[in-house]
Amino acid sequence: MAWERAGRGSVAGETAHKLRGDYGDMRSDHTVDQDWEAYTADEHELWRRLYRRQESLIARHACDEFNNALADLNFGEGIPRFGAINAKLRPATNWQLVAVPGLVPDLTFFEHLANRRFPVTVWLRDPGEFDYIVEPDIFHDFFGHVPMLFNPVFADYIQAYGRGGIKAHELGAIEMLARLYWYTVEFGLIHTPKGLRAYGAGILSSGGEIPYSVESADPNRIGFDLLRIMQTRYKIDTYQETYFVIRDFGQLFEATAPDFSPYYAQLNGRDTFAPSTVLAGDRVYQRGLAPVRTANGA
Ligand code: PHE
Ligand code: CO
C-alpha cells in the first residue's frame, strides 16, 4: 500500500507525484461517468487475474461479512459496472458508488461519505502494477471497499466518519481523523470466533498483506483504542508495523459515536507514537518480532 487517503495525499496537494486520472471532465463534486464501454479486453483480463488471486486469499483471512458480500456480488468476471452494483447496494444499505477520476480533495471526499456516496476511481492499474500501486485504483476501491458497504453497521460507520471529517476539517484535526480511517477502514483486523480476520480494504486488496496482517509474527496486533490510534502515525509504503483489532463492528461504531471535539483538543500538541510503538496500556494480541519492513508489494 502506498497512498494516503482522507487527510493527506489528496489532490489538495501533498502527493509527491502527479496524480493519475483524467480530471478534465469532472463535475463540481469531482464525479465523472464511469464510461464502462471504454475498458479494454486486456483491462478486463487483468481484473480477472487480480480478482482470482485475492479470492484465493480471502477465504481464510477476510471476515465473514466481507466474504459473504463478495460471494453474493460475484463481480470477478470483468470490471464491474457501477450501475449494476448500485442496484444491489441501494436496497441493502442505501449507499451508492460514484465514479471519480482518482483521489479527490478531503472535504469533497467527506461530503460524499456523509451522503452515503462512496467514491470509486475509474481507472485500472497497468499490468506491471499487479503487486504494487502507488494510488488507489478501481481494483482497490472496488474489491477492498465495496463488500463492506453491504454491512449495515459498517456502512453507518463510514457515513459517520464522513460527517466527522467535515467537522475535523473545520477544526484542523484531519490528521488525527485520517489515522482512524487508516487503522480501521484501510487496515483494520477483527477478532472473530474463527480467529483474527481482516476487514480493512488496504489489506484485502493486497496480495501480500492479507496473510502478513493476519498470520505473520512480525507486526504488532493491538486492541482497538480510539485515542491511541488517533496519535499513531502510519507508513504508506510498507506493510503496517501495527494493526488494531476490533471485537465487532458495533464496538467500532459505538467507540466513535461521541463528539470528537474534546478529544482533538486533548490530543492537540501531544507527541505522536511511531507506527511500531507498543505502550504499557495496550491490549496486546501479539507483540511483533520484526515490526520494521522493507517496501512492499502494495
Ligand atoms: N463522532 C465523531 C465526531 O464527532 C465522528 C466520527 C464517527 C468520526 C465515526 C469517525 C468515525 O467527530
Ligand atoms: Co481505500
Q: Coil, helix or strand for 201?
A: helix
**Considering only the top CATH level, what class is 36-286?**
mainly alpha
Which distant-in-sequence residues (6+ apart) come within 8 Å of 241 by Cβ? 219, 220, 235, 275, 276, 288, 291, 292, 293
For 204-216, what is the mean pLDDT? 95
pLDDT at 13: 36
pLDDT at 298: 37
Q: How far apart are CA 191 and CA 200, in angstroms?
A: 13
Q: Coil, helix or strand for 139?
A: helix
The three three-digit cell numbers of residue 182, written as one number: 487508516
CB atoms within 10 A of CB 194: 9
pLDDT in tens, 233-292: 999 989 999 999 999 999 999 999 999 999 999 999 999 999 999 999 999 999 999 755
Q: How far apart are CA 37 and CA 45, in angstroms?
A: 15
Is the pLDDT reported for residue 7 higher than 70?
A: no
For residue 255, give the amino acid letter. A
Among 143-157, 174-188, 281-295, the minimum mean pLDDT is found in 281-295
Which ligand sits nearest to residue 148's alpha carbon? Answer: 2
Q: pTM (2 decimals)?
A: 0.93
CA-nearest residue, atom 11 of ligand 1: 161
Which atom of ligand 1 lies closest to the CA of 253?
Answer: 9
Q: How far apart are CA 246 and CA 97, in angstroms?
A: 26
Do 241 and 276 touch, CB atoms closer than 8 A? Answer: yes
- Catalytic residue among 30, 61, 112, 140, which? 140
pLDDT at 297: 39
Cα 122 to middle of ligand 2, angstroms: 13
pLDDT in tens, 72-116: 999 999 999 999 999 999 999 999 999 999 999 999 999 999 999
Is the pLDDT reported for residue 30 higher than 80?
A: yes
Cα Rg of the chain, angstroms:
18
Based on the residue annotation, tell me whether 145 is a catalytic residue of this protein.
Answer: yes
Assign 3-class secondary structure to 227-275.
Answer: HHHHCECCCCCECCCEEEEECCHHHHHHHCCCCCHHHHHHHCCCCCECC
Cα 222 to middle of ligand 1, angstroms: 21
CA-nearest residue, atom 10 of ligand 1: 161
pLDDT in tens, 112-133: 999 999 999 999 999 999 988 8
Read off the DSSP letter of residue 62: B
For 150-156, what is the mean pLDDT? 98
Higher-confidence residue of 14 and 264: namely: 264
Based on the residue annotation, tell me whether 17 is a catalytic residue of this protein.
Answer: no
Among 17-21, 92-96, 153-157, the minimum mean pLDDT is found in 17-21
Q: Of the residues 154, 157, 158, 161, which should be mutated to test ligand 1's pocket, given the most ligand atoms within 8 Å of the CB?
A: 161
pLDDT at 14: 41
Q: Coil, helix or strand for 49?
A: helix
CB-based pocket (< 6 A), ligand 1: 157, 160-161, 163-164, 167, 180, 256-260
Based on the residue annotation, tell me whether 175 is a catalytic residue of this protein.
Answer: no
Q: Widest CA span of the chain, in angstroms?
A: 55
Which ligand sits nearest to residue 260's alpha carbon? Answer: 1
pLDDT at 145: 98
Cα 166 to middle of ligand 1, angstroms: 10
CA-nearest residue, atom 5 of ligand 1: 164
Which ligand sits nearest to residue 6's alpha carbon? Answer: 2
